[in-house]
Structure 1
Amino acid sequence: MAEGNSYDCDMVESLAAKFIAEKAQDVHINEENIKKLASTIMEFFLDTFENKLPTISTHFLQKFDTYSFINDRNVADWLFVVHTLNFSLWNPNNTKQWRVNGAQGFFGLCAAMKKISEKGMRTWDPRCYSKMMQCEFEHIFRGDDETPIPLIHERCRILHEVGEVLLNKYKGTFVECIKASDNDADNLVKLIVNEFESYRDEAVYEGLTVTGL
């Protein structure tokens, strides 16, 4: 873990949520409706997994055939890169949107990653993307009509940042992060937030640092 940056995400989340709920003036939390919403969500998921999952899975895989062409050893690294780049993929309204193979947003990002991976570029390998120049990044992630991916400079900088961490501390693969977390999702979230600055979604509210996790 990164020294000096480590904190308990569970504690920060619970304290921040309580603090904001008590201090908020423009938002009111309806406790009764939260229970109703939770019940509705549970009913939906139970119905989905029992009755609709095969249909949903088939549709999802047809639209989101993103990493079937990558061998199993690289899937974790591929997914890490995709999710690292998955933010603010929309241009302002009334302007051209970034599209790849006709897809926008997250699916456009997946389409771009798949397209360049199939051409032989190891998009999941930090040895590749940690040294990528911005002009290379622009070319790789250009849209169907040459519309650039939003926030090019920021995305390129973040790839350099996470790539260096993986190379210097985790043998150049996100798999080592999973191993270091003992295959525990909560531990993995804490490790990611502590080790990768771009995942540290924080803000100061009424003098308290709160996290968006």
Structure 2
Amino acid sequence: MVVRLELDVSRDPLRVLESTQPIVEQARLVRIDQQQVQRAAALIEGLPAPTADWDRMLHPISDDPAKLANLVLVVDALNFCFWSLPGSDRPRWQVTYQGTTYDGYAALAVALRRAVEGGYPLWDGDLLGTITEAEVTELLAGDSGSEAIPLLHARMTHLREVGVALVERWDGSFLHAIRAARGSAPRLVAEVLRALPSFRDTAPWGQREARFYKRAQILVADVFGAFAGQGLGAFHDLDTLTAFADYKVPQVLRQFGVLSYEPDLAGKIARCELIPPDSDEELEIRASTVWAVELLRQELSRRGRPTPSYAIDWALWQAGQSLPANTDPYHRTLTVYY
């Protein structure tokens, strides 16, 4: 089925939709099923409206807004790649905190919370700017017998980059960047992209550049959640954010029938083979994810339930936490962007 993509440029200030539209329209490996978009919209319509939430029992927190802003930034500087490489016979990286064992993103959140509660000042730009790989290893130590967190050296590099930006650009706190954005989500995304190269989630596609900005966009959404959408967390244009193209959301969209993969790609994913970063396979999966959520947004709006893309993304991600055991696996791309 040919997908008709309608773009409202006023809703796309970061040009994520514009830059990914031709990838979807010319896709050979991934398809969006418009009829299944309508069916999935009906399912989402029946779910409780997702809320912006920064789980204060899970994440590192502070009553000091300047420290809290920095902690949110640190979390999303590290918010990528929590799965084990194929062939491992050990559990993927996991962290036990207060008697409960977590993996994935939740393990990152509690590992950082554990560090803050233990007296480690993760909000301190001077400390982050000189952090060592040994210190990052200790911060993100997993349970005995589980895999180490992947891409550890990159995580150290990201934390150092954050530390330098905090000290040299933001006078010690990300709070200053948030205030300077004056309530504009894309303006804050743009500032993050200028200051932190590790958030510049783009890829070449022919003579063009595809933009995704997954971690930069989710950082702004997390600021919204951490400050409960009030004061520093109030953004008047948060609804211009797109889906946060990762590996869990396309898995859920595929389970719903919204996305389908051609047989060779489906086989690679079933065998947990690595999909190279910036490959046609990866770009079509990510671009189709962004546009599938945009089509869901359009369909929900037609149904009288306007729902922004970030909220649809959250609903799909939450649904992905309770998929049946026999669900097709997610694609695996070793990358720092998601």
Q: TM-score, normalized by length of structure 2?
A: 0.52
Q: Equivalent residue of 2:30, what SS?
A: coil
Identify, as 1 or 2, the structure richer in helix. Answer: 1
> Closer, same or farther in 2 for the Cα pair 1:88/1:11, shift >3 Å?
closer
Amino acid in structure 1 at the alignment position of 2:81: S
- Say if 2:107 is the partner of 1:108: yes
Structure 1 partner of 2:23? 20
Give deviations 1:59-117, integer Å, cap 9, x for gaps.
x958x43335x223221111110111010022224343211112111111111111111
- Say if 2:79 is the partner of 1:86: yes
> Closer, same or farther in 2 for the Cα pair 1:179/1:10, shift >3 Å?
same
Equivalences for residues 38-77 of structure 1 within 5 A? 38-46=41-49, 61=55, 64-68=57-61, 70-73=62-65, 74-77=67-70
- Say if 2:133 is the partner of 1:134: yes
> Closer, same or farther in 2 for the Cα pair 1:195/1:39, shift >3 Å?
farther
Structure 2 CA distance for aligned equivalents of residues 188 and 25 of structure 1: 35
> Closer, same or farther in 2 for the Cα pair 1:19/1:197, shift >3 Å?
same
Structure 1 partner of 2:119? 120
Q: Equivalent residue of 2:82, what SS?
A: coil
Amino acid in structure 2 at the alignment position of 1:162: V
Amino acid in structure 2 at the alignment position of 1:92: L
2:15–2:211 contact (8 Å) kept in structure 1: yes
Q: Once the 2 structures are TM-superposed, how far is the Cα of residue 32 of structure 1 from its aligned partner?
A: 4.2
5+ residue gaps, structure 1: 1-8
Structure 1 partner of 2:206? 206
Structure 2 CA distance for aligned equivalents of residues 202 and 122 of structure 1: 32
Structure 1 CA distance for aligned equivalents of residues 26 and 179 of structure 2: 39
Structure 2 partner of 1:197? 197
Q: Once the 2 structures are TM-superposed, how far is the Cα of residue 184 of structure 1 from its aligned partner?
A: 2.0
Q: Once the 2 structures are TM-superposed, how far is the Cα of residue 181 of structure 1 from its aligned partner?
A: 0.7
2:59–2:110 contact (8 Å) kept in structure 1: yes
Q: Once the 2 structures are TM-superposed, how far is the Cα of residue 36 of structure 1 from its aligned partner?
A: 4.0
Q: Equivalent residue of 1:28, what SS?
A: strand
Structure 2 CA distance for aligned equivalents of residues 11 and 61 of structure 1: 28
Q: Equivalent residue of 1:10, what SS?
A: coil
Give deviations 1:1-23, integer Å, cap 9, x for gaps.
xxxxxxxx735323212221232
Q: Once the 2 structures are TM-superposed, how far is the Cα of residue 121 of structure 1 from its aligned partner?
A: 0.9
> Closer, same or farther in 2 for the Cα pair 1:195/1:36, shift >3 Å?
farther
Q: Once the 2 structures are TM-superposed, how far is the Cα of residue 207 of structure 1 from its aligned partner?
A: 2.0
Q: Equivalent residue of 1:106, what SS?
A: helix
User: What is the identity percentage for the equivalent residue pairs of Structure 1 and Structure 2?
Assistant: 25
**RMSD over equivalenced CA pairs, Å:** 2.5
Q: Equivalent residue of 2:182, what SS?
A: coil
Amino acid in structure 2 at the alignment position of 1:190: A
Q: Once the 2 structures are TM-superposed, how far is the Cα of residue 168 of structure 1 from its aligned partner?
A: 0.7
- Say if 2:181 is the partner of 1:188: no
Amino acid in structure 2 at the alignment position of 1:106: Y
Structure 2 partner of 1:30? 33
How many residue pairs are counted as aligned between the two chains? 194
79-88 or 32-41, which moves further after superposition?
A: 32-41
Structure 1 CA distance for aligned equivalents of residues 212 and 148 of structure 2: 28
Structure 1 CA distance for aligned equivalents of residues 17 and 142 of structure 2: 41
2:126–2:163 contact (8 Å) kept in structure 1: yes
